[in-house]
Amino acid sequence: MKIGVLAMQGAFAEHIALLDRLGVKAVPVRLPQQLDGLDGLIIPGGESTTISKLMLSYDLMGEVKKLAGNGLAVFGTCAGLVLLANDIVNSGITSLGVMDIAVKRNAFGRQQDSFETDIPIPVLGDNPFHAVFIRAPIIEKVGNEVEILARLPDGIIVAARQGRLLAAAFHPELTQDLRFHRYFLDIMA
């Protein structure tokens, strides 16, 4: 199995390091030909506006969209989640639009721009997951094909899956918990 991490901007090094701990050597992806032969791709957190622009100028937007339509597994965290969405309610940025979710960018008020909290994620087992939110988006609405994986105590949706597409509003790559990435490797396999 071959996995890539989109390495335009943002927390790509952290994803690569975490995968390394799982014994998986990831390919940093900056050019379309580096997508060749990948079974999975991670789109990291960062600044979705910047990542979107860079993906467009390096011809990665159309290519990743096409591959995702042909079964490439894609895992987006934070800004990566925004880039997967087919509806970004408060921004006009170009996204891949492959996942049937409506997303709101920077959805938490100023005081809570960043926070950490333990949330239950049943598909990962009984132990809660330590979720790090940094100027995070939320998922406001999901389509019929989408499975909700995690919510905050107030019901806000913060992780979801649609077939081979996986999205988290928080940053599993900034924790020592390998379960979310392992879950993605299982989806890829």
Identify whether 63 is a catalytic site residue: no
Listed in sequence order, the residues at least 6 apart from 107 whose beta carbon sits closer than 8 Å to its beta carbon are 136, 137, 138, 156
Identify whether 173 is a catalytic site residue: yes
**Residue closer to ligand GLN (CB basis): 114 or 127:** 114
Identify whether 78 is a catalytic site residue: yes
Task: For residue 140, give the DSSP letter.
Answer: E
Q: How far is the CB of 24 from ligand GLN (least distance, A)?
A: 22
Q: How far is the CB of 70 from ligand GLN (least distance, A)?
A: 26
Q: Which of 64, 69, 8, 74 has the alpha carbon at shortest distance from 36?
A: 64
**Residue closer to ligand GLN (CB basis): 82 or 96:** 82
User: For the packed helices 12-21 and 179-188, what is the interaxial angle rounded to 10 degrees?
Assistant: 80
Listed in sequence order, the residues at least 6 apart from 165 whose beta carbon sits closer than 8 Å to its beta carbon are 68, 73, 74, 75, 76, 84, 98, 99
Q: How far is the CB of 72 from ligand GLN (least distance, A)?
A: 21
Rounded CA separation 104/107 (Å) = 6
**Residue closer to ligand GLN (CB basis): 40 or 45:** 45
Query: 14, 78, 130, 147: which one is catalytic?
Result: 78
Rounded CA separation 167/158 (Å) = 8
Task: For residue 166, give the DSSP letter.
Answer: E
The binding site for ligand GLN (CB under 6 A) comprises 45-48, 78-79, 82, 105-106, 134-135, 137
Q: Which two tokens stand for residue 110?
A: 């100023």
**Residue closer to ligand GLN (CB basis): 25 or 110:** 110
Catalytic residues: 78, 171, 173
